[in-house]
Structure formats: structure tokens, C-alpha cells
């Protein structure tokens, strides 16, 4: 078994883990909306998955992706690699600057017993917007990885 195949396997497994975790957040939120008594559990579950599963998997994705560039002999001047790296940075910035702090603020309100105020709804709407934006960008990265477009 070659180093290239092992790196590809780890890279794809990390992508499945990261994106799969992110997709599950929608299920957690829908379940909480149906029964607000589960909101704290759902938001804390999302925070746990984000911190302990998805984000570390994104880190593995970056590391194995960079390793694959070297092992496979790609150039960092390759369009699909450059676009994917720029989009990855955008995802990290959006998540760190907006998604995670908003989730943290939502959890604070829920732990104070607030799941119905205008402030809570604003935070929920904001995180839904950022979650969708991040998801779309991640899908664009996937398009770059699979189709490898050129100019």
C-alpha cells in the first residue's frame, strides 16, 4: 500500500467525518424545535461535535490535503488547490468569528432558561445563516476536490 493511498483514505475519511457531523446539526436543531425542552441538550451536542469531531477532522483534512499536494506532486499554483485553500480559510474565519461565538451565546441564553425571546431567535437565525453559508462553501471545496477545474 502506497503512502498516497493511505493519505487519500485518511483525507476522504476526515471529509466524511467533518461534513457528516456538520450535516447532523440540522437534525439536532429540528429535533430541538419540535420540543424546546431539548434545546440545551441539542445545542450542547452540536458544540461537542463541533469541538471534538468536526473541527479536528477539518484539521486532519488540511494536513492530509497539504501532504497529498507534496506526495502526489501537485503544484500549489494549481487552480483547484488554490481555490480550495482560499475557501477553507474563509470557512475557518466564518466559523471562528461568527458561528462558534453565536452558538456559545445561544447556549448561554438556553442555560438561563431563555428559548423564546427575540434575542434567542436572532441568534438562532444568525447561526442558521452562517451554517448554510459555511455548508455551501464546503460543498464548493468538494467540487474543487472532485472535478479539479482548470482555466
The pLDDT tens digits along the chain (151 residues) read: 899 999 999 999 999 999 999 999 999 999 999 999 999 999 999 999 999 999 999 999 999 999 999 999 999 999 999 999 999 999 999 999 999 999 999 999 999 999 999 999 999 999 999 999 999 999 999 999 999 999 8
- How much is the pLDDT for 151? 82
Are the C-beta atoms of 61 and 14 separated by less than 8 Å?
A: yes
- pLDDT of 143: 97
The set of cell numbers assigned to 107 is 447556549
The pLDDT value given to residue 37 = 93
Other Cβ atoms within 10 Å of 36 Cβ, number: 12
**Residue-level pLDDT at 1:** 86
Closest CA to 137 of 79, 92, 74: 92
Interatomic CA distance for residues 122 and 126, integer angstroms: 6
Q: Which three cell numbers stand for residue 28?
A: 439536532
The per-residue pLDDT for 126 is 98
pLDDT value at residue 79? 97
Is residue 139 within 8 A of residue 111, CB to CB? The reply is: no
Give the 3-state secondary structure of residue 79: helix
pTM: 0.94
Amino acid at each position: 500500500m502506497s503512502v498516497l493511498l493511505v493519505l487519500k483514505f485518511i483525507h476522504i475519511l476526515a471529509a466524511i467525518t467533518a461534513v457528516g457531523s456538520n450535516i447532523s446539526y440540522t437534525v439536532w436543531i429540528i429535533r430541538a424545535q419540535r420540543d424546546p425542552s431539548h434545546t440545551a441538550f441539542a445545542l450542547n451536542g452540536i458544540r461537542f461535535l463541533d469541538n471534538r469531531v468536526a473541527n479536528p477532522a477539518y484539521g486532519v483534512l488540511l494536513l492530509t490535503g497539504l501532504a497529498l499536494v507534496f506526495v502526489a506532486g501537485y503544484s500549489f499554483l494549481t487552480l483547484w488547490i488554490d481555490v480550495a485553500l482560499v475557501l477553507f480559510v474563509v470557512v475557518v474565519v466564518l466559523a471562528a468569528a461568527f458561528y462558534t461565538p453565536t452558538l456559545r451565546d445561544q447556549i448561554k441564553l438556553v442555560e438561563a432558561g431563555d428559548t423564546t425571546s427575540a434575542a434567542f431567535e436572532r441568534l438562532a437565525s444568525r447561526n442558521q445563516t452562517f451554517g448554510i453559508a459555511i455548508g455551501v462553501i464546503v460543498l464548493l471545496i468538494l467540487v474543487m476536490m472532485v472535478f479539479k477545474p482548470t482555466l
